[in-house]
């Protein structure tokens, strides 16, 4: 929210993913990499297309699995020549939130029936499957928090709406998460 609303300009991170979120000793989060996409893409139209191509084709090894940063990109940002927007950052944040809630990487692989994490979670909710099938097992022990976890899933799914106009602004996402803490 700070990046989006700290000035009158419409700042966009453009490459938000879980590996860009750093925690200090008190577990306070800090987002790294802000401005890098703009720095590279701001030099020319050619650099912009190179940056987007690098972000969408680069792969990162995580454990024994491969996570494609493309999984964090909003669908509209995957189109060649498109611009990153704040709504793209909201989508990426939603994927990160789903990653935290499920304990899974957002990649679309054979173990995920070639669907991304967002698609799998959306399908599980649509089919009204038990929460235990999609939630990170470490969160299952927190039985009292079921209501908060379900609310967080709904926030993440709102963030990952395919239509960017249906996605909330980051301020609303932040306020919704703050309300969950108070429950």
Give residue limits of the domains in the chain. 2-182
Span 9-24, average pLDDT: 87
pLDDT confidence bin for 126, thresholds 50/70/90? very high
pTM for the full predicted model: 0.79
Span 62-68, average pLDDT: 41
Backbone phi and psi for residue 106, each to the nearest 5 degrees, phi listed first: -80, 5
Span 89-94, average pLDDT: 96
Contact 168, 158 (CB under 8 A): yes
Backbone phi and psi for residue 165, each to the nearest 5 degrees, phi listed first: -65, -25
Q: Residue 131 above 80 pLDDT? A: yes
Greater confidence (126 vs 3) lies with: 126
Q: Residue 163 above 70 pLDDT? A: yes
Q: What is 2-182's CATH topology? A: Transferase(Phosphotransferase); domain 1 (1.10.510)
Give every CB contact of residue 86 below 8 A, 6+ residues apart in sequence.
4, 10, 11, 12, 169, 170
Contact 49, 67 (CB under 8 A): no
Q: Residue 118 above 70 pLDDT? A: yes
HSE, side-chain direction, 13 A CA sphere, residue 36: 11
Angle subtended at Cα 27 by Cα 24 and Cα 33, rounded to the nearest 5 degrees: 55
Element (DSSP H or E) covering residue 23: strand 21-23
Query: Which residues is 62 bridged to in the sheet?
Result: 65
Output the six-digit token pair for 121.
């979670």
Greater confidence (48 vs 91) lies with: 91
Contact 44, 124 (CB under 8 A): no
């Amino acid at each position: 929210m700070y990046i989006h609303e700290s000035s009158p300009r419409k700042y966009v991170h453009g490459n938000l993913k879980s590996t860009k979120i750093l925690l200090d000793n008190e577990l306070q989060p800090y987002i790294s990499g802000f401005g890098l996409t703009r720095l590279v893409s701001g030099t020319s139209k050619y650099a912009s297309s190179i940056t987007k191509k690098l972000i969408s084709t680069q792969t990162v090894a995580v454990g024994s699995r491969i996570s494609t940063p493309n999984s964090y990109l909003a669908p509209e940002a995957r189109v060649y020549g498109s611009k990153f927007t704040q709504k793209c950052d909201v989508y990426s944040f939603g994927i990160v939130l789903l990653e935290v809630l499920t304990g899974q990487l957002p990649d679309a692989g054979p173990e995920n029936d070639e669907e991304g994490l967002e698609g799998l979670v959306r399908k599980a909710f649509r089919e009204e499957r038990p929460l235990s099938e999609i939630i990170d097992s470490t969160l299952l022990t927190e039985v009292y928090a079921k209501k908060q976890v379900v609310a967080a899933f709904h926030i993440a799914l709102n963030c990952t709406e395919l239509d960017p106009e249906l996605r909330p602004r980051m301020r609303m996402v932040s306020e919704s998460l703050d309300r969950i803490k108070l429950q």
